[in-house]
Amino acid sequence: EEGRWAERRLKGVAEVQEVLEGMLRERYAPRTQTLTHKS
């Protein structure tokens, strides 16, 4: 049960990080688009 809880928690953290990264990307897209276009 503990392992399952930890797995669910990690998945939740990953989802939150994805959302935050998307928000940051949208917010700073105009300024950093040329810099991050290579990667």
Total-model pTM? 0.52
Distances (CA, A) of 7 to 2, 10, 12, 20, 32: 9, 5, 9, 20, 34
Name the residue ranges covered by the structural domains of the chain: 1-39
Separation CA 27–CA 35 (nearest Å): 15
Q: Taking the chain, what is the end-to-end CA distance rounded to the nearest angstrom?
A: 40
Mean pLDDT of 31-38: 60
Separation CA 16–CA 29 (nearest Å): 19
Tens of pLDDT, residue by residue over 5-29, are 999 999 999 999 999 999 998 888 7
